[in-house]
Amino acid sequence: MKAVILGGTTGIGRAIARRLAERGDSVFLLAREVDDLTRSAEDLTARHPKREPVGHALCDLERPEGFAAALDAADAALGGFDAVIVTAGLFATQDALEADIEFTRRLVTVNYANTVVFCEHARKRLLTRGGGRLAVFSSVAGDRGRKPVAIYGSSKAGLSVYLEALDHKFHAQGLSVLCVKPGFVKTGMTAGLKPPPFAGDPEQVARDVVRAMDRRRPMLYTPGMWALVMLVIRWLPRFVMRKINF
């Protein structure tokens, strides 16, 4: 794989980048801070069996005007990428979002509108070279309207529907789109929250994601237990959802 990873310097993105680099895949990093990027690139270079220098470029999901240039830089460095992975996004608890209308606007814009725009840039480039792989992090929170994730979940719901449609539409042209739905994963994003049962760690999720990309799967619940949990949640009747606080 020649993979571009938006968000590859932290959390699950970092774990995926390491997994790919350690098995010899080429990796290019996109993130918001230069110092963070150079440090992560050095980390991946040291882990790559051939010590292949890992390239990087600035890219901020809040600045869609920079998307094209960032992907051009990745293309140039990798000699044409064939995989794009998006783990970046914003998160806050429902309480925090309800208290901060401006952050709500930013979160919904980043997680839905700007992520879709980024994927459109990536998708077009991949299709011109006969397809490839696009793996994007949505969330189990997008599967059902739920009290504790009303705003965050809705941004991910929109993203999930977009990714599903993309897979339907371009599958025949060789583009495999993977919609990743992580459950609770112990990362910096969720630090400070109490982990529920079946909480995953970034390495475990990274392993699942890379395997699903290799097999060109369209959807992945990870850790796997969440597929079962969400199956039940999706079928719960409305009057039950109103009562429970999950």
Residues annotated catalytic, as ranges:
152
SS (H, E, C) 116-179: HHHHHHHHHHHHHCCCEEEEEECCHHHCCCCHHHHHHHHHHHHHHHHHHHHHHHHHHHCEEEEE
Q: How many residues bind other proteins (CB under 8 A)?
A: 17
Smallest separation, CB 43 to other proteins (Å): 4
78/95 Cα distance (integer angstroms) = 42
Binder of other proteins out of 50, 79, 128, 192 (CB under 8 A): 192
Is 136:159 a contact under the CB 8 Å cutoff?
yes
- Which tokens belong to 225? 């237990």
The answer to whether 14 contacts other proteins (rule: CB under 8 A) is yes
Nearer to other proteins, 45 or 94 (CB): 45
Nearer to other proteins, 46 or 99 (CB): 46
Binder of other proteins out of 4, 7, 20, 40 (CB under 8 A): 40
Smallest separation, CB 46 to other proteins (Å): 4
The answer to whether 51 contacts other proteins (rule: CB under 8 A) is yes
Q: List Cα–Cα distances, 115 to 9, 99, 135, 171, in angstroms.
A: 17, 24, 12, 20
**Residue found under tokens 């990714």:** 163
Q: Give residue 240's Cα distance to chain centre.
A: 30
The answer to whether 48 contacts other proteins (rule: CB under 8 A) is no
Q: Considering only 4-12, 112-120, 130-138, 161-169, which stretch makes contact with other proteins by CB under 8 A? A: 4-12
Chain contacts with other proteins (rule: CB under 8 A): 9-11, 14, 22, 36, 39-40, 42-43, 46-47, 51, 187-188, 191-192
